[in-house]
Structure 1
Amino acid sequence: MAALEKIQAKTFWPIHIEHWQASGLSQVAYCRQHDLCPQKLGYWKRKSTVKPTTSPTGFTRIRVDGDRSSAPVPGLSLQFNDGIRLEGITQDTMPCIQPLLELLR
């Protein structure tokens, strides 16, 4: 598989996995409806749930100061390479973030 095809697959399949899960259909029925290969959907589903064997890198500790303005702040969002997105991270939700990151590892 060429590099460009791998990049496209890494964005294509997570979207279909998310849509399949929301559809309530079986994998085979969803794939028939969208003209997809059920084995490939299964492969990418398994690939997206595999836990890394090495410790993740690239994270840094952050400190959130108190709100310095009166305007509402939408919060921080994190999106991981596998498509998982954490949104609305604020000072109030920071205590939940570390346990959530541990669970996602």
Structure 2
Amino acid sequence: MAALEKIQEKTFWPIHIEHWQASGQSQAAYCRQHDLCPQKFGYWKRKSTVKPTTSPTGFTRIRVDEGISPDLAIGLSLRFNDGTRLEGITQDTMSCIQPLLELLR
């Protein structure tokens, strides 16, 4: 397979997988409608890193800073990729966190 065909295939399938997830159709129905090979579709679906955008899992990756001494840390701290930080999250302030996170999204 030529290099250009490989590149096209790597962009073609993820786009179809994303559209299928948004369509609400079964995989078979989507493949029939778009004249796609169901086996190739299944292969690329398994290989794909595309996540469904309609139903987030609620999980995220976290990293624990090893250099912080437990007796110096006051509550939980969250640092987001854009540089935003939430510090001092304790059991007493936990009820404020969910609405605050919703606002920041």
Class of the TM-score when normalised by the shorter of the 2 chains: 0.3 to 0.5
TM-score (norm 2): 0.47
TM-score (norm 1): 0.47
- Greater Rg over alpha carbons, structure: 2
Tell me which of the two structures has the higher relative contact order, counting C-alpha pairs closer than 8 angstroms and 6 or more residues apart: 1
